[in-house]
Structure 1
Amino acid sequence: MGRPPLALGTAGAIRYYKTPTGYRARVLVRDHDGHVRALERRAATKTAAERALKLALRDRAPALARGELTADSRVSVLAETWYAGLANLSPITLQAYRDRLDRQLLPRLAQLRIRELSVGTPDRHLRDIAQRHGLATARMCRSVLSGMCTLAARHDALTQNPVRALGPVTGRAKAPRALTVPQLRQLRAALTYDDRAIARDLPDLVAFLMATGLRVGEACGLAWGAVDLNAGTIEVRTAAIRVRGRGLVVKTTKTDAGQRTLVLPRWCVAMLHDRTDRLDTTASEDGADHGNRPVFPAPLGGWRDPSNTQADLRDAFAAAGYDWITTHVFRKTVATLMDHAGLSSRAAADQLGHANTSMTTDVYFGRKVSATGAAAVLEALDA
């Protein structure tokens, strides 16, 4: 029976030969095309020849492999290769995947070999992530890990994707928590007496979030050109986001469902009228284009950073006695008010910018109803 061939991408034993000027170290390498090739290096001593040959093997492997992953590659290499190959994704999604790699997956798995990603390994880590960081984070980690393992399987570093053998990440999710109409009125009133919140231009922003259910990035990225006060509508087509390495950018919404036209309650239209009156005075002084200016600019001017805004809002909410509130609570509140008024899950999904009603019904309210429209329901928030 013949000697078994070398595995792809591996080298055999190093052999040494005495030469008139020193030593020659030689090894056979089986490249990823299946061919066996000899590689050798010469030096004055045996140790130096061996060292030179090992360095040549190290430097030669990436060029020959052309990015090929093997079962012995580390998970950190797999993660970076997978991430580098992502395309046609929004900056927000790319940043979310990067965060899951850096914060949850690589600290736990980076030093493992790809062949060590058995079914049990990701299962244990995902269950621990769900317990420590919540179901939403664990589910995104599962998606990232599955993409990585699919790539490894394509490179024959894994026989199959072990993540697909896992069941869904389950657990006890927090029940959606929404504000009541009296609570909304109380919060709006409290902010109008908070000098710090007023200096940060938060009362109008919070009122607008209550009236629309927009994501905070969508509100920060709203320009006056997307507002039609005569019709009482806004067009949601952009969002402000901070992208690592690029800074603050205003980009189109990441899905077609995110681009939508919303009817505003009358009290919200009146509030925006007051803002545009103030803006017209300022615009006449600096000659700026009204339509391209943000509806809710940063306190020092320009587009408002959603991350900084979230921090400012947390301070304001805590001062008002609502330290448990996040901006996402307003989205849940709008969905809940529409649900209680008998509006359909499709109408709520359109209001919030969800492509599928399942997201709206599962996360934002619990029962299906029927009807259409939102502005009339949100009129109730007018104090």
Structure 2
Amino acid sequence: MSRPRLEPGTAGDVEIFGLYLDGAKWRTYGKDKPQPKRWEQVERWRARCYYRGHDGVRGEVSRQIDGGRRKATVVAEATDAVNRAVAERLDRHGVIGGENMPLVEAGRQWLDLVDRPDSGLSEATRTAYRGAWSRHVDAAGSSVRGLTLAEVNRPPVLRRLLQSVADEHGTGSAKMTRSVLSGIIGQAVNDGVLAANAMRSVKPVKAKDGQSRQRRKSEDERDTERALTRAEREEILTHADTLAEAKTWHRVGRKAQTTADLLHFLAGTGVRIGEAWDLRWEDLDLDGRSVRIRGTKTQGSRRTLGLPDWLCERLRARVEREDTSGLVFPAPAADDPERPWDRSNSSRAVAAVLRSAGYGWATPHVFRRTVATLLHEAGMPLVKIADQLGHADPSMTMREYLGRTWDNADDDLSAHL
């Protein structure tokens, strides 16, 4: 029986065969030796798949995996291993194959395109896309993980996934997942694989209760509208130092110390945490008490800030411990000063300190709001506060960080006019 013809850049179904050891060779079960009915009794498995490159040439890839496990585990691991091998063999150059290409493979290709310097997307956006992909699409239990591009490109299928994400994780997560899937399908349309993007026919969804994770102002829920008092700020920083001093093992201690230093830097400058991650030693002038912030958003976010004396002393202490080349806050577990600290790992480390200090509602952004509030209480001009935060529009600083608007019909003020 002939095999169905494959479109260029696509692969066929993955076939899985049980193997048994015959002397020194692994052989496939067959008529002479039937395969056991229980998958757990098979010692080894071979997965095979035929593919057709973009040049039209057919090929075959196969991978072997360990047996002694349940069918679902074997099928999932074998399929993933073969699909990855096919992806490496195909000379893709960012081109999505036929409509029968698995969604997970098309998604990985799209994410590779997103990571290219010419994508025009910020690192924060790329990280958010990958997070939504791994949590809600290419994840165990996802309703679309095993589908092809053609199968997923249907409004009911897409709507069901997005509604599930919204109900379980919030409207914001559903919105990000929608962007990812729309990007993948849109790329397939651009490559001539699909005729239209079905996501355009799917209306935005909302969580079941009509809101995105209704925020309760409790001690354990995030509150992005609150600033710290000066005493609360000092309590958190002292707690971070206490944790760092208690960690004696090198790698754990280095992570705790880097986290504490990062928190002090956020508290003393009000920069975005992404700007702190990108900070390099050559950006610091400790003698001149200043730091150059490269910015992560607009042209206005690129700025030079003064450093308080206590933060300069803190950074000088870090100079004595660390290599003064490369990143100021690199990956603590690595000895490479150029290796960035994984954004998710860093955020979790900061969140752990805030939570253990009794401020589970706080996020790293709380230090940014706190700096704005302290400067405002000190009587600093609004324009100066906006410059400190890297805002091109001072009204944004007033509206979002100080909780004020331009609408101030105050009789007490008008009485003095």
TM bin, normalised by shorter chain, reads 0.5 to 0.7
Structure (1 or 2) with the larger CA radius of gyration: 1
Q: Which segment drifts farther, 112-121 or 297-306?
A: 297-306
Q: What are the equivalent positions in structure 2 for 1:97-246 lying under 5 Å apart?
A: 97-106=129-138, 107-116=142-151, 117-168=153-204, 170=206, 171-172=211-212, 174=215, 176-181=224-229, 182-191=231-240, 195-196=245-246, 200-201=256-257, 203-229=260-286, 231-237=288-294
Listed as ranges, the matches of 1:1-383 within 5 Å are: 59-60=51-52, 63-64=55-56, 69-86=97-114, 87-88=116-117, 89=119, 93-106=125-138, 107-116=142-151, 117-168=153-204, 170=206, 171-172=211-212, 174=215, 176-181=224-229, 182-191=231-240, 195-196=245-246, 200-201=256-257, 203-229=260-286, 231-237=288-294, 255-257=297-299, 260-264=302-306, 268-273=308-313, 275-276=315-316, 278=317, 290=324, 292=325, 295=328, 298=332, 303=337, 305=341, 309-335=346-372, 351-352=388-389, 367-368=404-405
1: CA distance, partners of 2:239 / 2:53 = 65
CA gap of 1:75–1:224, structure 2 versus 1, over 3 A, is closer
Query: Deviation of residue 68 (structure 1)?
Result: 5.8
Contact 1:115 1:157 in 2 (8 A): no
Deviation, 1:302, is 6.3
> How far, CA to CA, are the matches of 2:398 and 2:99 in structure 1?
43
Aligned partners of 1:361, 1:160: CA distance in 2, in Å? Answer: 44
Q: Aligned in 2, Cα 1:153/1:312: closer, same or farther, shift over 3 Å?
A: closer
User: 1:125–1:211: structure 2 CA closer, same or farther, 3 Å change rule?
Assistant: same
Asked whether the 8 Å contact 1:211–1:264 carries over to 2, the reply is no
Q: 1:264 to 1:60 in 2, by over 3 A?
A: closer
| Matching residue's letter, 1:207 | H
Distance of aligned partners of 1:363 and 1:63 in 2 relative to their CA distance in 1, 3 Å threshold: farther
Contact persistence 1:205–1:296 (CA under 8 A) = yes
1:234 Cα deviation (Å)? Answer: 1.2
Structure 1's 151 and 192: CA in aligned 2 closer, same or farther, altered over 3 A? Answer: closer
2-structure distance, mates of 1:211, 1:355 = 21
Per-residue CA deviations over 1:93-149 (Å, capped at 9, x if unaligned) read: 444433322321133313224334222322332232133223443222121111112
Q: What whole-Å deviation, never above 9, does each CA across 1:238-294 have from its counterpart, x for those lacking one?
A: xxxxxxxxxxxxxxx6555485224336xx234314642x467679xxxx7x5x365
* Equivalent position SS for 1:83: helix
TM-score, normalising length from structure 2? 0.54
- Indicate conservation of the 8 Å contact 2:354/2:362, yes or no: yes
Please provide the CA RMSD for this pair.
4.6
Q: 2: CA distance between counterparts of 1:94 and 1:172?
A: 22
Q: Is the 8 A contact 2:292 2:305 kept in 1?
A: no
Q: Given the superposition, is the C-alpha separation of residues 269 and 59 from structure 1 closer, same or farther in structure 2, using an over 3 Å criterion? A: same
Give the CA deviation at 1:235.
0.7
Number of positions where the alignment pairs a residue of Structure 1 with one of Structure 2 = 297
Of 157-166 and 192-201, more deviation after overlay is shown by: 192-201
Aligned-partner Cα distance in 2 for 1:300–1:115: 43
Q: CA deviation at 1:361?
A: 8.1
Unaligned runs of 5+ in 2: 9-48, 58-91, 216-222, 408-417
- Please tell me whether the aligned partners of residues 293 and 305 of structure 2 are also in contact (alpha carbons under 8 angstroms): no
TM-score computed with the length of structure 1 as normaliser: 0.58
- How many Å separate the matches in 2 of 1:256 and 1:320? 33
Structure with the greater relative contact order (CA < 8 A, sep ≥ 6): 1 or 2?
1
Offset from partner CA, 1:311-340 (integer Å, 9 cap, x none): 444443344322333323323444566678
